[in-house]
Amino acid sequence: MIKNKRELKELVVLSFKYENEFNNGYIKYRDWAKKINNILDNYEHTTTRSLFTSLVKDKIFEKKKVRKKILYLFNPYGKVWTDPYENYSGVVSFD
């Protein structure tokens, strides 16, 4: 197991880039923690939380508050993320 925190961060960021996680949009911490645990094969909450917090401080993740929830976007690229369903009304018209 890798003990160096910098190497863990690099491994997580490279895995997320490979999986193109930017396209998933804003999701909860719980989902990001599950993905990090799968990558690192680690199920210690303290390790996952400290790693995630350091990634947020390094601006690898963007934070967004929606109502009472805090959502995170994996964005090491500095791109602007637009929701593909933002203007979707859900109404189908047959003209």
Q: Between the ranges 1-10, 19-28, 76-85, where is the mean pLDDT highest?
A: 19-28
Read off the amino acid at residue 77: Y
92-95, long-range: CB < 8 A, 24+ apart = none
This prediction has a pTM of: 0.79
Decide: residue 11, CB within 10 A, 0-12 exposed, 13-18 middle, 19+ buried.
Answer: middle
Instruction: Give me the domains of the chain, ranges plus CATH numbers.
Output: 5-74 (1.10.10)
Q: Identify the band that residue 17 occupies on the pLDDT scale cut at 50, 70 and 90.
A: very high
pLDDT tens sequence across 32-44: 999 999 998 877 8
Task: Provide the mean pLDDT of the chain.
Answer: 85
Quick check: 93 and 85 in contact, CB under 8 A?
no
